[in-house]
Amino acid sequence: MDLNTRSEKKKSAGDIALEAYKENPCGSNLLTLFAAYRPLIQTVINRFSFNLLDEDDLIQEAQIVCFKAAQTYQESFNTKYGTYFIQCLINRYNSLTRFDGADKRRNQKRDLSLEMLLEAGEEKILGYISTNEGSISDELNELITKQAPVLLSKLELRVFKLKILQDYSAAEIAEILEVTPTAVYNALGRCHRKLESYIQGGDYYYPSSKEETIKKPSPNSDEDNTSSS
């Protein structure tokens, strides 16, 4: 048995998976790398207690951290990738714990009227005020549960929920989502325009290469949205 063979035998499944990912950074290799550390990830998850995040959320966060760690890891760190990845994951969970704990101390705004929604943050998300309390409640429920996920991009929807439902500041949202505060403000601005357009009954054209129209459904329609190119 030569030295190269011995060296190969000493490599863990994680080491081999990392090498494969570095050579070919595709989705399947990333999943293999993540699977190699799944037991350690579960051990870390079990150390934390969150109010708003469930295990699926934490696993998704771990996948993101695994990807970023694989991108930034270097052998010159003088530590194994697994150690580096798990430390990055612990740091991420610690960061989420701070915000999760802060949210627990906030008064939840799950039954807000649209007027309360307008007063909830620094930015004016919706340019609409109704005087009919019943219709306000119905409109808000329709907006949050059905229309927002359709009208907004993934980033805009996450920013919308963190800002309106959980009352995080723009700076806190930027740290949670690991984006710049400018990106948060821009996302809030787009939320404002899209949701205001929906509430006022107009068609909304997404500013993209492929224009897509989202029409507000009629009261007698069973469909949530009608899309056309």
- Residue pair 113/140 in contact (Cβ under 8 Å)? The answer is yes
- Residue pair 58/93 in contact (Cβ under 8 Å)? The answer is yes
pLDDT at 181 over 70: yes
Average pLDDT of the segment spanning 193-208: 55
pLDDT at 108 over 80: no
CATH topology of domain 114-228: Arc Repressor Mutant, subunit A (1.10.10)
pLDDT in tens, 23-57: 988 888 889 999 999 999 999 999 988 877 788 88
Lowest mean pLDDT among 36-40, 41-45, 181-185, 200-204: 200-204
Domain ranges of the chain: 12-104, 114-228
Q: Write out the two tokens for 2.
A: 């030569």
Average pLDDT of the segment spanning 183-200: 76
- Give the residue carrying structure tokens 């800002």: 163
Nearest to 126 by CA among 113, 109, 111, 110: 113
Write down the mean pLDDT value for the chain.
69
Cα–Cα distances (Å) from 109 to 4, 115, 128, in that order, read 61, 12, 18
Lowest mean pLDDT among 52-61, 65-74, 125-134, 174-183: 125-134
